[in-house]
A = this chain, B = another copy of it.
Amino acid sequence: MADTDIEDWLDSETKAAEAPADHGDETRLWLRLLTCTTLIEAEIRRQLREEFDFTLPRFDLLAQLERAEDGMVLGEVSRRMMVSAGNLTALVERLVESGHISRTTSPTDRRVQIVALTAFGRKEFRKMADRHGDWIGALFQGLSSRDREVLMKELSKLKGSIRGALADNA
């Protein structure tokens, strides 16, 4: 082994010890992911606002309720939307006000609030959901079917990785 090799080895060891892994790769990947999401989300918000004078959180809540024929308990909505319960109070209040959803107290547990789409809310949601699909389709049009497949698969792995990391902390 030549002197230079030994020096290289010592050097790399020293660097590794002093300056921990910078995770530059992962961070760049994260920023790219964030950029894509932010761009899409901003466009969806803009379209919803311009075409329907509606906000994304309102739309998301209706989307959760669409497949719950008998309504859904507020806590379940909170979990599915991954938002805090406190957040929902005002959001639900406004959607009841605008006639899109109804809200009733559970007959078996008076702490529990049940929200459900009204006929009007369901009709409005269908209209918006159709257009939503169009917007998404347009934004993803540059990806081939194969691209979408690969991306979905990798994102599934990522989701698993995240879940794993979060479980470790807990």
Contacts and interface: CB of A to CB of B under 8 A. Distances in A.
A82 interface: yes
A165 interface: yes
Contact of A165 (B24, B36, B139): B139
B25 A162 contact: no
Interface stretch (A1-9, A110-118, A128-136): A128-136
Interface in A117-170: 130, 132-134, 136-143, 145, 147-148, 150-152, 154-166, 168
A41 B161 CA distance: 14
A37 interface: yes
Interface residues of A toward B: which range? 35 or more
A166 B39 contact: yes
B134 A161 contact: no
Contacts of A23: 133-134, 136-137, 140
Interface stretch (A27-35, A71-79, A92-100): A27-35
A155 B41 CA distance: 15
Given A140-B161, A142-B161, A36 B155 contact: yes
B134 A32 contact: no
B157 A154 contact: no
Contacts of A82: 35, 38-39, 42
9 contacts: A21-B137, A25-B145, A32-B159, A33-B151, A34-B40, A35-B82, A36-B159, A43-B162, A147-B157
Given A32-B156, A33-B155, A142-B161, 10 more contacts: A25-B148, A27-B133, A29-B152, A33-B40, A36-B155, A36-B162, A39-B163, A139-B165, A142-B157, A151-B151
